[in-house]
Amino acid sequence: MPGTVTVRIPTALRPQAGDQGSVAVAGASVKEALGSLTSQYPELGRRLFQSNGTDLNRFINVYVNDEDIRFLNNLDTPLNPGDELSIIPAIAGG
């Protein structure tokens, strides 16, 4: 039984997540956690993932406890109970 993790939702996606700033979901990996999030909120899933439904939209960055999942194991990054997942749109700067 996977543990519960918290997913932080950015303002731009809150209308698709019942206007919540964070959602608690179950999942032993990033893929599982986002899967249970998007089965709860299908419209959110259509924005997070590309039309193939498996790859993240390229303007979405996902962090596990402040580390970009591309430095970890991408969607297969394992999660521990209590971990915090942040969904953050890519922003330019300099």
Partner 1 sequence: MSFVKALRCKECGAEYPIEPRTICDNDFGPVEVAYDYDAMQGKVTRRSIEAGPRSLWRYRDLLPIEGEPRVGLNSGFTPLIRADNLARELGVQELYIKDDSANYPTFSYKDRVVSVALTKAMEFGFDTVGCASTGNLAHSVSAHAAAAGLRAFVMIPHDLEEGKIVGSLVFGPRMVKIKGNYDDVNRLCSQIADKYNWAIVNVNLRPFYTEGAKTHGFEIAEQLGWRLPRHTVVPVAGGTLLPKVYKAYRELITLGLVQDNHPAMYAAQAAGCNPVVAALEEGADLFKPQKPNTIAKSIAIGNPADGYYVIKDVRQSGGYGASADDNQIIDAIKLLARTEGIFTEPAGGTTLACAIKLIESGRIPRNESICLSITGNGMKTLEVMQGQFAQSPTINAKLAEFDRVVGQIAEMAPTPRSRRLAGAPDPIG
Which residue of 2, 26, 68, 84 would you call a contact of partner 1, by CB under 8 A?
68
Q: In this chain, which stretch among 28-36, 68-76, 77-85 interacts with partner 1, using CB under 8 A?
A: 68-76
Could you tell me if 41 and 16 are in contact, meaning their C-beta atoms sit under 8 angstroms apart? yes
Which residue of 26, 61, 72, 78 would you call a contact of partner 1, by CB under 8 A?
61
Beta carbon nearer to partner 1, 1 or 92? 92
Say whether residue 73 binds partner 1 (CB under 8 A): no
Which residue of 76, 81, 82, 88 would you call a contact of partner 1, by CB under 8 A?
88
